[in-house]
């Protein structure tokens, strides 16, 4: 299965009132990690719509599939549907292949609504011919997250540009593809930055030249300013960009947690000066403290949960937990109830 048609189908389904559920065996492989992340991001709202609990498993050896088998067995014991994301290049043995085959057959027959997504680096034809991968191709879906040529890269980036509300002229596209030299991440970051500088605009060669950037366009300190300023949309966009540029989640957590603790201390009656808050940011912190007074009591537990997720203790998605905390700080909304 080619990536782009599936990605567009998922994005369209996510906007519908009742998207069809995602279930059974999926395998995505390729040399573009960003595309794998986009696939997961496109699946997430559909998982949420069907109340599927998302968990992750990192395969560190062939024996790790025993943990996967246990996880699959536990899935069948509950009424709620689940989505299991597996990463790692270790293949299952014959017994596990039989378990996966039964899982796929039951999903195809509608016996359950669970979804297993195995994420792999690019597999050659010999690897794709193994029993394990053939199982996914024959009874589920095998997705290729690769760009065979520049035309494919442009087609995918055009979809992302549309998501950003941008239209590029042919000259701008030519300049972007030449400048980024087959690097999907750099091209995506450029589009992302252009959407901030020129929202909903038509981008010509001159505008693109002015907006071209190397590397990440924003830092965790930009995220802090957006959160404290009460701008949830910009905060989440910056958080998304930090994730796509491989910023360590621990680094983002340090910034977000520092802001959260300062806000909590202000709400407890301490002065900005006593906390060492720069005078240029004191008004932002004070406004954030007022805006979030009714919801900040849950932040400490969320920070602890994020730290555990980063360390791999809980199996939860650290970036999703960060998303929820950032949104709460920026908007003053309650954190979602833990499942």
Q: What pLDDT score does 290 carry?
A: 95
Which of 62-66, 211-215, 241-245, 290-294 has the largest mean confidence?
A: 290-294
How far is the C-alpha of 203 from the C-alpha of 168, rounded, in Å? 5
325: CB partners within 8 A, 6+ apart: 256, 260, 299, 302, 303, 306, 335
Domain boundaries, the chain: 3-144, 150-211, 220-331
Average pLDDT, the chain: 89
Collapsing DSSP to helix, strand or coil, 58 comes out as strand
pLDDT at 83 over 50: yes
How far is the C-alpha of 9 from the C-alpha of 173, rounded, in Å? 24
Structurally, at CATH architecture level, domain 3-144 sits in 3-Layer(aba) Sandwich (3.40)
What is the mean pLDDT of the segment spanning 178-184? 83
Report residue 75's pLDDT band, with 50, 70 and 90 as the boundaries: low
Lowest average pLDDT, out of 83-92, 175-184, 195-204, goes to: 175-184
Report residue 79's pLDDT band, with 50, 70 and 90 as the boundaries: very low
Q: What pLDDT score does 104 carry?
A: 94
Tell me: the pLDDT tens digits for 137-151?
999 999 999 998 989
Q: Indicate the CATH number for domain 220-331.
A: 1.20.272.10
pLDDT at 260 over 50: yes
Q: What pLDDT score does 217 carry?
A: 59
Q: What pLDDT score does 61 carry?
A: 85
Which of 185-194, 208-217, 294-303 has the largest mean confidence?
A: 294-303
Report residue 204's pLDDT band, with 50, 70 and 90 as the boundaries: very high
How far is the C-alpha of 307 from the C-alpha of 304, rounded, in Å? 5
**Three-point CA angle 31, 32, 34, nearest 5°:** 155
Higher pLDDT, 233 or 71: 233
Q: Which two tokens stand for residue 67?
A: 């943990």
pTM above 0.75, yes or no: no
What percent of the chain has pLDDT above 90?
Answer: 60
Q: What pLDDT score does 214 carry?
A: 43
**Three-point CA angle 319, 6, 64, nearest 5°:** 50
pLDDT at 215 over 80: no
pLDDT at 210 over 80: no
Higher pLDDT, 262 or 17: 262
Fold (CATH) for 150-211:
Helicase, Ruva Protein; domain 3 (1.10.8)
């Amino acid at each position: 299965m080619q990536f782009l048609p599936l990605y567009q189908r998922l994005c369209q389904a996510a906007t519908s009132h009742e998207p069809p559920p995602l279930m059974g065996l999926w395998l995505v492989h390729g040399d573009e990690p960003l595309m794998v992340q986009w696939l997961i991001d496109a699946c997430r709202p559909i998982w949420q719509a069907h109340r599927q609990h998302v968990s992750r498993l990192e395969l560190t050896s062939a024996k790790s599939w025993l943990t996967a088998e246990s996880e699959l067995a536990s899935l069948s014991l509950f009424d709620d549907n689940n989505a299991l994301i597996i990463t790692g290049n270790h293949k299952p043995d014959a017994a596990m292949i039989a378990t996966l085959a039964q899982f796929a057959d039951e999903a195809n027959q509608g016996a359950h609504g669970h979804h297993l997504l195995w994420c792999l680096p690019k597999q050659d034809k010999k690897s794709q011919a193994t029993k394990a991968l053939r199982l996914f191709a024959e009874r589920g879906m095998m997705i290729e997250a690769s760009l065979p040529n520049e035309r494919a890269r442009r087609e995918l980036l055009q979809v992302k540009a549309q998501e950003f509300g941008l239209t590029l002229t042919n000259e701008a596209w030519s300049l972007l593809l030449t400048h980024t030299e087959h690097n999907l991440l750099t091209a995506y970051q450029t589009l992302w930055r252009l959407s901030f500088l020129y929202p909903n605009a038509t981008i010509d060669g001159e505008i693109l030249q002015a907006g071209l950037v190397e590397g990440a366009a924003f830092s965790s300190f930009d995220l802090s300013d957006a959160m404290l300023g009460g701008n949830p949309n910009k905060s989440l966009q910056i958080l998304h960009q930090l994730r796509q540029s491989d910023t360590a989640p621990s680094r983002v957590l340090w910034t977000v947690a520092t802001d959260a603790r300062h806000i909590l201390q202000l709400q407890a009656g301490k002065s900005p000066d006593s906390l060492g808050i720069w005078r240029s940011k004191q008004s932002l912190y004070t406004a954030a403290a007022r805006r979030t007074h009714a919801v900040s009591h849950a932040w400490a537990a969320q920070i602890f949960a994020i730290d555990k997720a980063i360390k791999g203790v809980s199996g939860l998605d650290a970036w999703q937990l960060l998303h929820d905390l950032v949104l709460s700080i920026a908007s003053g909304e309650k954190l979602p109830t833990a499942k």
